[in-house]
Amino acid sequence: MTPYDERTGMAYSQGFKILNPYGVFRDIAILNITIIYKGRYHIRQALDLEILSSVLQNRGHTVRFVYVPDLFGVTDNVLQIKYLNALVTSLGKSITNIVETTPSVVIFSVLPGTYRWMRELAEETKKVVNAPIVFTGLHPTLVPDRVMKDRFVDYVIEGECEEAIPALINALKNSGDMEKVGNLRYRMDGEVKKTTQMNPVDLDSLPIPDKALFTPHVQHSYSYVAMVSRGCPFHCSYCEETSMKKVYGSRYFRRRKVDNIIEELSSAKQKYGFKEVIFKDSYLTGDMKWLVSLMKRYKEEIDLPFKCFCTINGFNEKTASLLKEAGCYCIEFGLQTWNERLRREVLKRYETNKEALEAFEICDKAGLSYDIDHMFDLPGEMEEDHIKGAKRYKTLRCLNRIKVHRLVYLPGAGIIEEGIKCASLPGNFDVISAEGVESDFYEQHKDISKDGASVRDFSVLYKILPLLPERMLTILLRRRLYKVLHLIPSAVTIIAQGIIAFKNRDLRFSIYLRYYPYKIVKAVFERGFRS
């Protein structure tokens, strides 16, 4: 076991024997590929790693995984407390874990919010592990040239990695000719080179995801998270899907065949015996023929409750009926704001409030619960927008939860220009964002809007809104008593949300209540054990 210094938080390199000389694997039949990821599980990038793991194992490689759950960190969608995050998240321990995998290649899967931390981890890892370091994921895709400025990063994958990384490993093992590896940034003669862009991966050709990758951190016995598509046909100015389309264009959006989807779900159901499915795609609707086929097969062969995302545009009675009959217990809609001008001009979303209310009414009549994504910190939003939102939400009968997010400015996103215009961002934010901004959609809201309204206050109000009687809401708004809601402890807000979840039979939120205490105890125990 590699020695570990708790005082400095670093792994010792003395006495550690390198598995392979740097970049030369010709005499090694099986390589140890170590993947590092920091962040929550229920997002596309984490799910993509499960597929990458299967791809690499199918090629005969051994996959090792170093997972940093980021408990209490900026990517935590329950609680963000920096002190506690520092207590349970150790850079030194992560380095030790990497060293103990004796890696041939080290792959860092990097989000914009974790880039700074991962850079530090990679730099220290380079000092004790003599193996090529590869950066992949959303942030390296958005700003590959910035990532390649760090000499401790040997390669950057720009875009999808399921074909690019095996090609890179093959080049390292054999000829070393990087020009034939697609989606790649690499160095030659002191210069950063770029290879050709590969076509989007054929999703139906990919193996079943390696769901064992995240265990024991993630339990699949209750919820099974599936991705049946990639991309989105819309062009929202803030969204990562729009950013990815800058790399691939409109061809980035595609869906898997129904046979392929059912094969995965059937196999996983037999293996894990889960009780629900969560489709994490940008939206499940849009193609009625495909949806009819999927829902029919799902009902016949899986027959379990599920949750999915839908768009307000095109949502109708037939869609609602089709989803509910197949077992859908909750739909998640993206609305973001009740200010139509901001939604249209700033977010580049073109649903009207009238269309939104019609979609929600369809769900109300069908008895179909729904969550609504609401985004704070938009350029130009005012206190009156939040008040209007509270009143609108209160009229919705089958509303399950208002899922409160904050706006995150991704590097190169179109909405940055709007943020600069409104003085919400400095003029050089493109440079700042490329360096990594430690924030996330779920980070707690502490910003104050121009007219003095606390976003934190309205965030709490929206979270507990389903519990408030209409008369109490009226009093809160009329007397502006909502301005003290930020004083409510986060734990109380979570308990209130738990009550709402119990009342609405919200399967998803019950998972948080069931496993979050376990995650805390586990992290604290592991930290105490190291001490």
Mean pLDDT (whole number) for 462-476: 93
Q: Which residues pair with 36 in a beta bridge?
A: 66, 108
Whole-number Cα distances in Å, 182 to 59, 194, 368: 18, 9, 45
- For residue 336, what pLDDT band results from cuts at 50, 70 and 90? very high
Q: Give the whole-angstrom CA distance, residue 151 versus residue 268.
A: 41
Distance of CA 79 to the CA centre of its chain: 16
More confident residue, 73 or 222: 222
DSSP string, 396-450: -SSEEEEEEEE----TT-THHHHHHHTTSS-TTHHHHHHT-----TTSPP--B-T
Question: How confident is the model over 46-67, as pLDDT tens digits?
Answer: 999 999 999 999 999 999 999 9
Confidence (pLDDT) at 449: 46
- How confident is the model over 92-134, as pLDDT tens digits? 889 999 999 999 999 999 999 999 999 999 999 999 999 999 9
Give the model confidence (pLDDT) of 504-520 as tens digits: 777 666 666 666 666 66
- From the list 31, 2, 5, 34, the residue with the least C-alpha distance to 122 is 34
Place of tokens 């389309």: 245
The pLDDT of residue 531: 47
Residues β-bridged to residue 279? 226
CB 371 within 8 A of CB 405: no
Q: How far apart are CA 385 and CA 392, in angstroms?
A: 11
Main-chain dihedrals φ then ψ at residue 98, nearest 5 degrees: -65, -45
Q: Residue 449 is which amino acid?
A: S
Q: What's the whole-number mean pLDDT along residues 26-46? A: 85
3-state SS class at 339: coil
* Helices 115-128 & 91-100 angle (0-180, nearest 10): 50
Query: Measured at the alpha carbon of residue 193, what is the angle toward residues 187 and 194, in degrees to the nearest 5?
Result: 135
User: How does pLDDT run across 149-186, given as a tens digit for each residue?
Assistant: 999 999 999 999 999 999 999 999 887 789 999 999 99
Pairing of strands 32-38, 62-68: parallel
**Sign, Cα dihedral of 98, 101, 103, 106:** negative
Write out pLDDT tens, residues 245-276: 888 888 899 999 999 999 999 999 999 999 99
2, pLDDT greater than 70: no
Q: Is the pLDDT of residue 323 over 70?
A: yes
Give the CB-side neighbour count of residue 228, counting CA atoms within 13 A.
24
The one-letter code for the residue type at 335 is L
End-to-end CA distance of the chain: 16
- Radius of gyration, CA atoms only, the chain: 24
Calpha distance 59→56 (Å, rounded): 5
Alpha helical stretches, state H, 335-382: 340-341, 353-366
Choose among 412, 348, 425, 374: nearest CA to 112.
412
What percent of the chain stands above pLDDT 90?
Answer: 69
What is the reported pLDDT for 49?
A: 97
Report residue 337 as tokens. Answer: 């704001």
Can you list the domains of the chain with their CATH numbers?
A: 4-194 (3.40.50.2300), 219-520 (3.80.30.20)
Q: Choose among 442, 441, 285, 288: nearest CA to 368.
A: 285
How many whole angstroms separate alpha carbon 318 and alpha carbon 286? Answer: 12
- Judged against a pLDDT cut of 80, whether residue 390 lies above it is answered with yes
Please state the φ and ψ torsions of residue 297, each to the nearest 5 degrees: -65, -40
Contact 240, 138 (CB under 8 A): yes
**Number of neighbouring beta carbons within 10 Å of residue 490:** 14
State how far the Cα of 408 lies from the Cα of 443, in Å rounded to an integer. Answer: 10
Structure token digits, residue 311: 């768009």
For residue 168, give both structure tokens.
Answer: 């890179």
B/e letters for 307-343, b = 16+ CB within 10 Å, e = fewer, are bbbbbbbebeeebbebbbebbbbbbbbbbbbbbeebb
